[in-house]
Structure 1
Amino acid sequence: MTREEKAAVIDELSQKFENTPYFYITNASGMTVDEVNQLRRLCFERGVEYRVIKNTLIRKALETSNTDYTPFDESVLKGFSGVMFHPESGKVPAQLIKDFRKKSGKAKLKFKGASVDSSLFIGADQIDKLISLKSKQEMLGEVIGLLQSPAKNVLGALLGGGHKLAGILKTLSEKEEA
């Protein structure tokens, strides 16, 4: 690869890291061609972009970012690296990794690290934590539900109480007539 080609890849990666708030770095060394094809197919089905990139190119692209990715230097950017990008959710790639590992029955696909909204997650023990993360849409839905709940309760009480009050007044008026 020439210097110009490397510079183009670094520039493209820099833009990708800047525009995609969710990316994962994995190690897929030791996988067969069939297993890699299965992984790529699963990534395509779930809207995850998967690319194998040299660690030095990843490191140089991350250096151009406003976020400090130096913790990745020690353990994440070592050995074989593949990067998974997802534009909308930090949870989808984590679930994909877990599902692929369960389906293949082998631990050949290893999670090394992730950046979710500029928060760094390093180490295989972080995968379950990443799966439990909620997307922006899920969190907005919960907040809207919480905000609507008191209003619904007040309306329900007023409407329900109105019917009870009308029933009581009707009963009282019928007793007075009798």
Structure 2
Amino acid sequence: MPLTKAQKQEALGAIEETLDGANTVYLTDYQGLTVEQATGLRRAFREADVQYKVLKNTLLRRAMEKRGGFDELFDELNGPTAVAFTNDPAGPAKVLKKFLEDNNLEVPRFKGAYIDGAIYSGGSLDELAKLKSKDELLGDILGLLMAPITNVASALGAQGSGLASVIQQISEKEEA
């Protein structure tokens, strides 16, 4: 049953709101998944804190046109399209890649992605899945920042203990 004009406006508003809240958008073609597989995929996305929705291409296109920056993805808005929204650029790629490997499937097919203003084509799934999450990057940065401090502290501690043992040996020699 077709949507009424009011329903379309409401759906368009919801899509625009979701686009405004996410800096990462993945497009997939889910055609060929069984209900059980689709449910498993949705669960995997939900566990990764990714919104995964099946949307009408025309409504998604209108919302993307209003927001701007998605022009290169418009060619992919044909056929069945499910969209993953998140703020973790690598999250959806990791979920998709794991799902495809675990289930030995070729669907859902990755169509493309928008990540912080950059567009990635359908062949970029492997590269996107290798990206580190924001938390992993912050951990790496903190580790790099802490390494010099830890090295200095351990070096000072080692020299201090060495100095203390030398002083102790000298004092023992003087007593003898």
Q: For 1:112-144, what per-residue CA distance to the aligned partner results, in whole angstroms no more than 9, with x for missing partners? A: 011223322111x21111111122221111111
Instruction: Provide the rounded CA distance (Å) in 2 between the counterparts of 1:110 and 1:29.
Output: 8
Map 1:73-112; keep pairs closer than 5 Å: 73-74=74-75, 76-87=76-87, 89-112=88-111
| Greater Cα shift, 55-64 or 96-105 | 96-105
Q: TM-score, normalised by structure 1?
A: 0.88
1:23 is matched with 25
Instruction: Provide the rounded CA distance (Å) in 2 between the counterparts of 1:34 and 1:174.
Output: 78
Instruction: Provide the rounded CA distance (Å) in 2 between the counterparts of 1:80 and 1:108.
Output: 12
Residue identity in the other structure for 1:103: D
RMSD: 1.7
Instruction: Provide the rounded CA distance (Å) in 2 between the counterparts of 1:36 and 1:155.
Output: 53
Residue identity in the other structure for 1:83: V
Change in CA separation of 1:27 and 1:103 when aligned onto 2, cut-off 3 Å? same
Which among 146, 149, 165 is matched to residue 148 of structure 1?
146
Instruction: Provide the rounded CA distance (Å) in 2 between the counterparts of 1:43 and 1:136.
Output: 17
Tell me whether 1:49 sits opposite 2:48 in the alignment: no
Change in CA separation of 1:177 and 1:103 when aligned onto 2, cut-off 3 Å? closer
Change in CA separation of 1:45 and 1:157 when aligned onto 2, cut-off 3 Å? closer
Which among 149, 160, 164 is matched to residue 162 of structure 1?
160
Which among 60, 63, 67 is matched to residue 61 of structure 1?
63
Instruction: Give the % identical residues.
Output: 35
Aligned residues: 174
Please list every run of 5 or more consecutive structure 1 residues that lacks an aligned counterpart in the other structure: none
Tell me whether 1:14 sits opposite 2:25 in the alignment: no
Residue identity in the other structure for 2:125: I
Instruction: Provide the rounded CA distance (Å) in 2 between the counterparts of 1:104 and 1:120.
Output: 27
Instruction: Provide the rounded CA distance (Å) in 2 between the counterparts of 1:85 and 1:59.
Output: 15
Q: For 1:136-175, what per-residue CA distance to the aligned partner results, in whole angstroms no more than 9, with x for missing partners? A: 2211111111111111111111111111101111212222
Q: TM-score, normalised by structure 2?
A: 0.89
Residue identity in the other structure for 1:107: E
Residue identity in the other structure for 1:112: K
Instruction: Provide the rounded CA distance (Å) in 2 between the counterparts of 1:99 and 1:18.
Output: 27
Q: For 1:26-46, what per-residue CA distance to the aligned partner results, in whole angstroms no more than 9, with x for missing partners? A: 001132333323322333343
Which among 132, 145, 156 is matched to residue 130 of structure 2?
132
SS of match in other structure, 1:90: coil
